[in-house]
Structure 1
Amino acid sequence: MSLLENLSIIMALILISCFFSMSEISLAAARKIRLRQLADDGDHRATLVLGLQTHPGNFFTVVQIGLNAVAIMGGIVGESAFTPHIAALLNHWVPAAWIAQTSFVLSFILVTSLFILLADLMPKRIAMAMPETIALILVKPLLVCILILKPIVFVFNGLATLIFRFLRIPAERNDDITSDDIYAVMNAGAEAGVLDTNEQQMMESVFQMQSIPVTSAMTPRDNIAFLSLGDDETMLKRKIADNPHHKFLVCDGQLDAIKGFVNSTELLIRLINEQTLDLKSSSVVQTCPIIPDTLSLSEALEYFKTNRVDFSVVMNEYALVLGVVTFNDLQSAVMGSWVLAEGEEQIVARDENSWLIDGVTPITDVIRTLQIDELPHSQNYETIAGFMMFMLKKIPRRTDSITFSGYKFEVVDIDDYKVDQLLVTRVELRDDNK
């Protein structure tokens, strides 16, 4: 055959190899979520691609048969196509004893280079750049190849399956999406600018609600203003004026003896109507919703939804009141600073290397702000104050400090025995053992 005919055969083999190379990469790299969206939109080809991804045995067998057959044919045709012509060119430059070997080596290098560049690298890079588009284009021709080569595919695929079973290796890929996969997608979206940083944090907080206890979002018992059954009208007015809340717990002398709650608007109506504010005989006291401290944020939110309430008392196993959590508290746990009014920030950045942090700040907010991977034994505490008590092994005092993960945590304000505020400073030394 002439050089032109041989070149035509070589180019045809390269095109066939391109088809199998692009099919292999595009069908393997095509995103399942994107394909499902296309299938839902009515693209039947996406359904075919999903079917091949679910059972890839036949697909990979056909691809490997095609690639290996083309490679062998390319070597045979290439050697006979270029060797004589290269030998003619080398006739005046290379000794006669070396012409045959040299022309064969150069022919081999030329054919191999053409296949590597045109049949392997370029098509695979194109398929990686737009896998779904290429997969949709090539899926039907590939299915035709599978049908034509079905007997050979059956033999090789059956042998491969037997070997996989003998070695106990899974033959199908696991496409289950985990929380880590979702976090990775959100991080990639934030890096690409598709997601705002606050949006990313909010979405991560939603996934973390199942693992964060409700106690991390509640108002602790020390900050709860309550009305007592024994309070006279003057005392009730003073408490309501000093603590302008929408709802007040009603207790029998102490916080743990809860009798219900009262709505401040109903008390205002009684005052306008010149009625007394005697809680003992009043019908304004309603049954108080109570939840255990073992609930997570998501479970507490489900409780609010099911029972149509917007607040609840958090109580432990000893029937002691730990705090009160509202729907706004749960919303703040998810949306963070988006729902905090001015002046309510629990973490205030002084500069790029130091922060003032309220002692009751949830530990998850601290980890997110400081970008720390994990705090030690975080299941033993819920706030940054609890972290200090755990690390110091004592009740913290002013100026007590620890250094962890490149940050210095120093107690700067104490209210009785309560850690009120900490100063966190980034330091050069990273010592995780303190």
Structure 2
Amino acid sequence: MLYLDLGIVTVLIVLNGLLAMSELAIVSSRPARLAGLVEKRVKGARRALALASDPGKFLSTVQIGITLIGVLSGAFSGATLGLRLASWLIEAGLPPGIAEPVGVGIVVAFITYASLIVGELVPKQIALRDPEAVAVKVAPAMVLLAKASHPLVWLLDRSGKILLWLLGHREQAADRVSEDEIRTLVAEAENAGVLEPGEKDWIAGVMRLGDLAVGAVMTPRHEVDSINLEDSNDQIFADLLESEHSHLVVFDGNREGAIGIVSAKDLLDVYLAGKIPKVRDLVREAPIIPEALDARDVVMLLRGAPVHMGLVHDEYGVFQGVVTSADILEAIVGSFHTKDGPAEPAAVKRDDGSYLISGWMPALEAAHLLGITLPTSRPYQTFAGFLLQEFGKIPNVGDRIEDEGWQFEVADLDGRRIDKVLASRLEPA
């Protein structure tokens, strides 16, 4: 009988561990991964996904099993094994008043220890290491258990929902994944070697596209190479020779509105043939992009355009600059090497912990680098625009301003444009 009682207690502890492992595995499993296993036709994946999508009934089923096991384990530990050990202690010469509490206490302590290790900690650690793999294996058994205890599960599930309703939780919690969670997962994947070096930055760049307005990635109009149809042929030829780009923006007298673009190759072909080109006939239409559009939508527009260059105009129809597919790519992976040498870094960290930041750096990237908060609606797209907003005027070299624990000092100006800024963290008071 002693061995039978020990066997029953061992089986109950193991069953408790299996239920605890199943509960944590299915609750911790990601629906997207389970859906992927369903597409691969992994056995048990569909049932695991169904259980994960309705956790109320599943948790009720598991709790019924764990509660029954706990009651039975307590009964066997106290009423059988504890009394047997107490009898053995009495036979060994211990007084009955001491032998009974000591015997029951030793048995309860041992079973509690075994229940914590075998019935809780180890199974849950196994479930956390690979929840989806465990979930698909235990799902068929959990479905059978749920069907067997359906009436009681229905009662518990309904009672739980009524109590939640009374407590004010009357809406189903949405299973949302935030951008911060995605960044954390990407960082963990890079540390684990799943992602190659640099891929984390590329993924972060893609995620930023939806937050960047086109003004943050476009080439502003004062840096755009252009041709004016009202200029003489010699001037047009000179503008073409000075340009390093394959396409030039075309104006018809009015610099506030571009009429299209022209290919430098088309113009050169005519000049090389010894003729004077009719520039107006060579002008190609380019998509007109509102300045308020975000960079992600610009990608879709450029994909459907015959020329991968868009003309950016503000709400008043005034030309502001151009955006190309190369600009979008640079916003994701960073600037490319130019003929003058390596691309200028947007920010350089100095030995003292301060940063030398270029004014053209997107304000969103600078905010992420420095850990500062930007307003959701803002009239600027670059770090220079952020500082102009803070200063309230065009600053001079050496002017300083403090904001959100940082001191910003204008280190260099390019005309009226803020070119370099020194950002130093302020010491706490």
**Shared fold (TM-score greater than 0.5)?**
yes
Which residue of the other structure, out of 314, 317, 330, is the alignment partner of 1:316?
314
Alpha carbons of structure 1 residues 147 and 227: separation in structure 2 relative to 1, 3 Å: closer
What's 2:23 paired with? 24
Q: State whether structure 2 residue 234 is matched by structure 1 residue 234.
A: yes
CA contact (8 A) 2:89 2:99 kept: no
What's 1:114 paired with? 114
Alpha carbons of structure 1 residues 193 and 375: separation in structure 2 relative to 1, 3 Å: farther
CA contact (8 A) 2:286 2:305 kept: no
Distance 1:60 1:70 in 2: 15
Which stretch of the first structure deviates more once superposed, 26-35 or 399-408? Answer: 399-408
What's 2:297 paired with? 299
Q: State whether structure 2 residue 248 is matched by structure 1 residue 209.
A: no
CA contact (8 A) 2:408 2:424 kept: no
Equivalences for residues 76-91 of structure 1 within 5 A:
76-79=75-78, 80-89=80-89
Alpha carbons of structure 1 residues 174 and 387: separation in structure 2 relative to 1, 3 Å: closer
CA contact (8 A) 1:407 1:430 kept: no
Residue 215 of structure 1 and its aligned partner are, at CA, apart by: 0.9
Residue 6 of structure 1 and its aligned partner are, at CA, apart by: 1.6
3-state DSSP of counterpart to 1:309: coil
Distance 2:171 2:7 in 1: 39
Residue 218 of structure 1 and its aligned partner are, at CA, apart by: 1.3
3-state DSSP of counterpart to 1:205: helix
Distance 1:171 1:381 in 2: 39
CA contact (8 A) 1:46 1:136 kept: yes
Equivalences for residues 241-280 of structure 1 within 5 A:
241-277=241-277, 279=279
Distance 1:151 1:278 in 2: 85
CA contact (8 A) 1:301 1:327 kept: yes
1:118-152 Cα distance to aligned partner (Å, 9 max, x none):
22222222222232222222222222222222333
Distance 2:287 2:14 in 1: 72
1:48-79 Cα distance to aligned partner (Å, 9 max, x none):
01111112233222211111111111111111
Distance 1:314 1:430 in 2: 43
Alpha carbons of structure 1 residues 413 and 253: separation in structure 2 relative to 1, 3 Å: farther
Which stretch of the first structure deviates more once superposed, 262-271 or 375-384? Answer: 375-384
Distance 1:350 1:17 in 2: 54
TM-score for the superposition, normalised by structure 1: 0.88
Q: State whether structure 2 residue 132 is matched by structure 1 residue 132.
A: yes
Distance 1:379 1:306 in 2: 29
Residue 46 of structure 1 and its aligned partner are, at CA, apart by: 0.6
CA contact (8 A) 2:57 2:157 kept: yes
Report the residue type matching 2:346 in the other structure: I
Equivalences for residues 398-413 of structure 1 within 5 A:
398-413=397-412
3-state DSSP of counterpart to 1:313: strand
Equivalences for residues 26-65 of structure 1 within 5 A:
26-65=25-64
3-state DSSP of counterpart to 1:307: coil
3-state DSSP of counterpart to 1:397: coil
Alpha carbons of structure 1 residues 177 and 92: separation in structure 2 relative to 1, 3 Å: same
Alpha carbons of structure 1 residues 216 and 172: separation in structure 2 relative to 1, 3 Å: closer
Runs of 4+ in structure 1 deviating by more than 6 angstroms, as ranges, are: none
3-state DSSP of counterpart to 2:282: coil
CA contact (8 A) 1:291 1:314 kept: yes
Equivalences for residues 335-354 of structure 1 within 5 A:
335-337=333-335, 339-341=336-338, 342-347=341-346, 349=348, 351-352=350-351, 353-354=353-354
Residue 173 of structure 1 and its aligned partner are, at CA, apart by: 5.5
Alpha carbons of structure 1 residues 211 and 109: separation in structure 2 relative to 1, 3 Å: same
Aligned pairs, number:
425
Distance 2:191 2:275 in 1: 61
Report the residue type matching 2:111 in the other structure: V
CA contact (8 A) 1:209 1:297 kept: yes
Report the residue type matching 1:99 in the other structure: A
What's 2:380 paired with? 381
Distance 1:300 1:155 in 2: 54
What's 1:12 paired with? 11
Distance 1:289 1:33 in 2: 37
1:284-336 Cα distance to aligned partner (Å, 9 max, x none):
23345422211111122211122332112211122222112122112211222
Q: State whether structure 2 residue 323 is matched by structure 1 residue 328.
A: no
Alpha carbons of structure 1 residues 319 and 159: separation in structure 2 relative to 1, 3 Å: closer
What's 2:174 paired with? 174
CA contact (8 A) 1:82 1:107 kept: yes
What's 2:67 paired with? 68
Cα RMSD (Å): 2.7
Residue 381 of structure 1 and its aligned partner are, at CA, apart by: 1.5
Report the residue type matching 1:345 in the other structure: E
Residue 25 of structure 1 and its aligned partner are, at CA, apart by: 1.5
Alpha carbons of structure 1 residues 317 and 151: separation in structure 2 relative to 1, 3 Å: closer
Which blocks of at least 5 consecutive residues in structure 2 are unaligned? Answer: none
Report the residue type matching 2:12 in the other structure: L
CA contact (8 A) 1:54 1:173 kept: no
TM-score for the superposition, normalised by structure 2: 0.89
Report the residue type matching 2:243 in the other structure: N
